[in-house]
């Protein structure tokens, strides 16, 4: 146990103060999305800005470097040593950019994002390009600064901000294999889907309308069954569904339409996956970086595990269909069998918009962006060439054209206009990790599918709590995956998941 005035305890005390600010920032952000009236925006932005400045000043104070060095020489147990390693990583990443550079970066990002919001609807790539060139130039400069401080290649240094330990040299061959697999698989999935639809007499329409209060009751019942702790979280409504708050007070949102109930329910199930991860983190380490979730890929893997591996499985719907009838009324899916509902839940379709894509086509949207943003950061692709690069890949991967259609092509996402380079791989890595975790879980717990048929999720959650949630940020992303499943990232598990679901 470190002495009361040891360097480790100084870092712990700082962590408690930073955690308090994080708590306030998070709750202000949730309130802005869910409750805040429009007139509160200006003062809210001022408050958030001041808190962000206070946090950064405290988290990058020069004396922290001395505390970290001194703590590394103190008698610490394994978890305390891991806490210092992770705190050092965070501190290096926060201090490797100068204040002058960050101010310049904020201006470029704000100009770019504001212009994107104005010009996307007008499909005006030409007007947006100068600001985009500015934000890419800043991103390349950031990548070089981070690369120098971290001893990494520039793009790896950018990925490190979202998924510590991930490297392009490891990800690229996995994505290349997946890309080749999907280009052959998707036409097969389409053909199989059409055969199933023909056998059922087509896609049955949902018996709308579905009252919102009944949809909410259904969602809450599913959340409870999945293990969400309502003593430490709640469900609200927002324009865009999200999971926020803090581990002891998780705030989830969804949105409803009376025309159908599946999009809201699946959104709730997805966000519940995020919420379960947050609620399962080790509370005794919440004031250290080591106690927080391990990056975007693992966070996405936990939401996709619940949505894709559980919530879109036939076994889940064997249990959930009676629940739908109970909460939405017998007429909601009157005369339906499980095969009719699965035709909706498992629909395969190609489209230009990433956020509307199904799980078979979605990875190709991500791989396209990964390849382009990597080229932008490395300087092998120029900003002005992005539309043609996008069109070429969209044509090759999904057989669709985006020529002269910028709003549905390279202007559709906010990530690049806001300066987030290195983020996109997390989406598909999360799906692949989820499939790999499920394969490992089934080896350890062969009755997992029977559990889902009966609405039992305790053992499934217990396995993930032991393998992922309780480990928090003790290990890098690749290390955590190996410890949880016994192997490195293996795309074959995701391929097998898709074959089983869409070709069986």
Q: What is the pLDDT of residues 204-250, one digit of tens each?
A: 988 899 999 999 999 999 999 999 999 999 999 998 899 999 999 99
What is residue 412's DSSP assignment?
S
CA distance 300 to 428: 9
CA distance 412 to 394: 13
What does the pLDDT average to over 178-202?
96
CA distance 81 to 108: 38
pLDDT of 358 above 90: yes
pLDDT of 103 above 90: no
Distance set, CA 445 to CA 307, 450, 451 (Å): 19, 10, 10
Q: What is the pLDDT of residue 2?
A: 74
Name the pLDDT band for 304 (thresholds 50, 70, 90): very high
pLDDT tens digit sequence for 247-300: 999 999 999 999 999 999 999 999 999 999 999 999 999 999 999 999 999 999
Q: What is the pLDDT of residue 150?
A: 96
Q: What is the pLDDT of residue 1?
A: 64
Instruction: Write down the mean pLDDT value for the chain.
Output: 96
What does the pLDDT average to over 448-473?
98
Domain ranges of the chain: 1-95
CA distance 11 to 6: 9
SS3 category, 252:
strand
Q: Percent of the chain, pLDDT > 70?
A: 100
CA distance 232 to 281: 13
Q: Enter the pTM of the model.
A: 0.96
| Residue positions annotated with a catalytic role | 271
Q: What is the pLDDT of residue 93?
A: 95
Among the residue ranges 181-185, 334-338, 420-424, 498-502, the one predicted with the least confidence is 334-338
Is pLDDT larger for residue 102 or for residue 367?
Answer: 367
pLDDT of 123 above 90: yes
Q: Percent of the chain, pLDDT > 90?
A: 91
């Amino acid at each position: 146990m470190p002495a009361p005035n040891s360097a480790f305890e100084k870092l712990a005390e700082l962590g408690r103060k930073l955690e308090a600010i994080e708590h306030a920032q998070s709750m202000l952000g949730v309130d802005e999305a869910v409750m805040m009236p429009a007139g509160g925006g200006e003062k809210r932005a001022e408050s958030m800005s001041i808190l962000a400045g206070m946090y950064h000043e405290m988290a990058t104070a020069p004396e922290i470097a001395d505390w970290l060095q001194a703590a590394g020489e103190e008698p610490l147990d394994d978890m305390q040593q891991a806490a210092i390693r992770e705190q050092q990583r965070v501190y290096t990443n926060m201090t490797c950019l100068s204040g002058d550079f960050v101010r310049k970066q904020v201006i470029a990002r704000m100009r770019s994002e504001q212009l994107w919001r104005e010009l996307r609807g007008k499909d005006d790539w030409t007007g947006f390009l100068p600001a985009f060139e500015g934000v890419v130039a800043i991103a390349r400069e950031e990548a070089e600064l981070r690369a120098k401080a971290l001893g990494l290649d520039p793009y790896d240094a950018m990925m490190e901000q979202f998924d510590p330990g991930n490297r392009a040299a490891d990800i690229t061959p996995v994505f290349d294999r997946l890309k080749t697999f999907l280009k052959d698989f998707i036409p097969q999935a389409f053909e199989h889907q059409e055969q199933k639809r023909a056998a059922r007499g087509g896609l049955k329409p949902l018996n709308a309308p579905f009252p919102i209060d009944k949809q909410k009751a259904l969602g809450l019942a599913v959340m409870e069954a999945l293990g969400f702790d309502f003593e430490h979280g709640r469900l609200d409504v927002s324009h865009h569904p999200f999971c926020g708050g803090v581990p002891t007070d998780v705030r989830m949102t969804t949105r409803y339409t009376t025309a159908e109930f599946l999009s809201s329910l699946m959104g709730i199930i997805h966000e519940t996956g995020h919420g379960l991860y947050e609620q399962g983190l080790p509370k005794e380490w919440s004031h250290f970086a080591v106690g927080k979730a391990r990056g975007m890929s693992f966070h996405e893997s936990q939401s996709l595990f619940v949505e894709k591996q559980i919530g879109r499985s036939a076994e889940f719907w064997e249990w959930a269909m009676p629940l739908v009838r109970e909460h939405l009324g017998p007429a909601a899916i009157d005369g339906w069998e499980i095969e009719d509902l699965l035709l909706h839940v498992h629909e395969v379709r190609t489209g230009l918009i990433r956020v509307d894509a199904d799980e078979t086509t979605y990875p190709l949207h991500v791989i396209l962006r990964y390849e382009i943003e990597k080229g932008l950061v490395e300087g092998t692709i120029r900003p002005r060439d992005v539309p043609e690069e996008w069109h070429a890949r969209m044509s090759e991967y999904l057989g669709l054209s985006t020529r002269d259609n910028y709003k549905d092509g390279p202007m559709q996402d906010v990530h690049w206009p806001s300066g987030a380079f290195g983020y996109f791989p997390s989406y598909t890595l999360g799906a692949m990790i989820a499939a790999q975790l499920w394969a490992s879980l089934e080896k350890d717990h062969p009755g997992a599918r029977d559990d889902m048929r009966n609405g039992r999720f305790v053992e499934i959650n217990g396995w993930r709590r032991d393998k992922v949630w309780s480990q928090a940020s003790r290990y890098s992303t690749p290390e955590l995956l190996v410890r949880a499943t016994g192997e490195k990232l293996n795309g074959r598990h995701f391929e097998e998941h898709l074959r089983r679901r869409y070709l069986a």
